[in-house]
């Protein structure tokens, strides 16, 4: 069952996996929120853990940076390890002036400048969207926590240092924030008949120039983490 990227055994992963980009954030979530977490994969230092939250089995594993990376890990989790739900819980840069640092947003859709969809040989342009059940459940969980979580389009970019500086053009189309993984996750889930959702915390603002430090990104995005964990509990019987 092991792959070049995952040494876990069958049954090591729960039905729902939370995927931050940063392995250290995966470890933080496991050690802070999960009961009896145990390491199930550490190939390339990616750090995958399984434990329980409020009695419900939950796994957390890093995705690395970018669409190729999350494309590999999500495909293997869905197709080889029986995972049904993957929630990306990562950072994003605000391109909407309505968003502030540490706001949490949910990606109903994920625009992209990537050619990831070309592999499917489609005769047109695919629109990557979140699974509605996961999205509706996460919105409900956030509301119960008293958190206002904007829902809308994200931009999944293949470039962090964007020479074209085109992010704000996407903002004119109502896109909320830019990140680097959601579109590939949504496409992989669609192709394999699984569920996916991206919930992101705003780590910086392209509008104002504000940004959080690497340490703050790693340890202070707890609202996003709790929304995802509560969603995992609610999804247990869905």
3-state secondary structure of 156: strand
* Strand bridging mode 85-94 / 195-205: parallel
Handedness of CA 125, 207, 135, 236 (dihedral sign): positive
Quote the CA–CA distance of 148 and 29 in Å, as a whole number: 22
Quote the CA–CA distance of 78 and 118 in Å, as a whole number: 20
φ/ψ (deg, to 5) at 200: -125, 145
Question: Of 12, 22, 131, 204, which one is the catalytic site residue?
Answer: 204
204 is catalytic: yes
In 3D space, the residue among 105, 97, 201 whose CA is nearest the CA of residue 151 turns out to be: 105
Q: What is the dihedral of CA 190, 91, 142, 26, to 10 degrees?
A: 80
Residues noted as catalytic: 204
């Amino acid at each position: 069952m092991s792959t070049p990227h995952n040494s876990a055994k069958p049954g090591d992963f729960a039905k729902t996996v939370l995927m931050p980009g940063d392995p250290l954030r995966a470890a933080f979530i496991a050690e802070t929120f999960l009961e009896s977490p145990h390491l199930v994969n550490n190939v390339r230092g990616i750090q995958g853990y399984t434990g329980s939250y409020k009695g419900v089995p939950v796994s957390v594993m890093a995705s690395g940076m970018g669409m190729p990376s999350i494309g590999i890990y999500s495909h293997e989790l869905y197709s080889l390890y029986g995972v049904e739900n993957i929630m990306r819980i990562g950072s994003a840069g605000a391109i909407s002036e309505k968003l502030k640092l540490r706001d949490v947003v949910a990606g109903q859709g994920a625009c992209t400048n990537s050619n990831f969809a070309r592999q499917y040989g489609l005769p047109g342009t695919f629109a990557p969207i979140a699974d509605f059940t996961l999205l509706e459940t996460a919105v409900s969980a956030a509301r119960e926590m008293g958190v206002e979580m904007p829902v809308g389009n994200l931009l999944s970019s293949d470039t962090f240092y964007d020479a074209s500086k085109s992010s704000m053009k996407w903002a004119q189309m109502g896109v909320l924030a830019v990140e680097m993984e959601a579109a590939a996750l949504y496409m992989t889930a669609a192709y394999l008949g699984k569920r996916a959702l991206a919930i992101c915390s705003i780590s910086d603002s392209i509008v104002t120039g504000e940004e959080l430090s690497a340490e703050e990104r790693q340890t202070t995005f707890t609202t996003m983490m709790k929304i995802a964990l509560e969603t995992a509990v609610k999804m247990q019987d869905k």
